[in-house]
Amino acid sequence: MKEYPAFTLDKGLYDETTYWGRVKYNMIRCDFRKVILGQKAHDEAVAKIESWKRGENKYTDAELWNARNIIESMEHPQTKQIINPIGRMSCFVPANIPIQIGMLLAPPTTFNVILWQWINQSYNAIFNYSNRNTSTESNNMDILKAYCSATVVSVAVALAGNKLVAKMGGGGLLGKCIPWFAVACAGAANVYLMRFKETRTGITVTDKEGNALGVSKKAGTKAVNLTALTRVILPTPVLLLPPFIIDGLKKIHCVPSGKWGNIITQLVVCTACLWGAMPLAIAAFTAIQPLAVSKLEPDLRAQLEKSGYNDANVYFDRGV
């Protein structure tokens, strides 16, 4: 049975200043079982934490850590509002399974490619919006414009990649890498377009304690850049590894014969790679990022100097 340290709200269960600590933490957030948790589970978890705050000794450390994990898996870190299940990290892999099935089973006509890429990028847009930095307000028209731009551009990029693969015959190392390049570019484009307003109007920067200091476009740009980079990292094991793994399995005769045997093998391998890739990619950068005061906009920098702020950095939530 897993042993838990004494419960605290001052730090996480794992050391998130290290990469592997962040990976372990994100594995908890990616736990697919948390997709089905609703208001009742959230309220029960909050009640346990509140009981601990009052000094009551009603729950074990394991129960308290699990309660905190439930809350952090369900809530947006800035608004503290419950994220729609489809936008949670715990839904990312389950949501991608039917998308993968559709892409594998649908005949590769232009219509089917566009349809499934649109579904894929629509889900990505929902995920990106749900996990954005919320200090920048967006109205319904902003969201609609961002969604349309994100899906059109990312689908176009993915289509271009597919056509290039078909033109090359899909063989060889380069042929295996083109889908990764197309998906990586499409994913990054989706992030940029869904969160473009953060770069245009800026996001809130804080001190180490989380007290707001002002709004910075440079922080917004860095937040979006880092998140887009995770979308380049994410498909690397998902799209680069499966072709080589499946080729290896075929060589040792571990792939069932027939169309369905091949499809099931691809689905299992891709899902396993995606399950491992998600926490690895998201953990590439810390959630709370520093930004040197010297790199801030002149007016904000002057404002901080005037107020006597003496930290070399300000901090911001980059989103997921």
Residue 45: the pLDDT is 95
Instruction: Give the tens place of pLDDT for each residue, 39-52.
Output: 999 999 999 999 99
Give the span between the Cα atoms of 101 and 38, in whole angstroms: 27
Residue 170 pLDDT exceeds 60: no
Over 60: is that where the pLDDT of 36 sits?
yes
The pLDDT, as a whole number, for residue 241 is 78
Digit-coded pLDDT (tens) for 77-107: 888 899 999 999 999 889 988 887 887 777 7
Task: Taking each helix axis as running N to C, give the angle between helix 259-282 and helix 217-233, from 0 to 180 degrees, rounded to the nearest 10.
Answer: 150
If you average pLDDT over every residue of the chain, what do you get?
A: 85
Phi, psi dihedrals of residue 215, rounded to the nearest 5°:
-120, 135
What is the structure's pLDDT at 176?
60
Query: Of 22-26, 75-79, 112-116, 284-288, which range is least confident?
Result: 112-116
Q: What is the pLDDT of residue 116?
A: 84
- pLDDT for residue 1 is more than 60: no
- Model confidence band, residue 168 (pLDDT cutoffs 50, 70, 90): low
Q: Which residue has the higher pLDDT, 191 or 178?
A: 191
Say what the pLDDT of residue 218 is: 94
- Dist CA 270 CA 241 (whole Å): 9
pLDDT at 226: 93
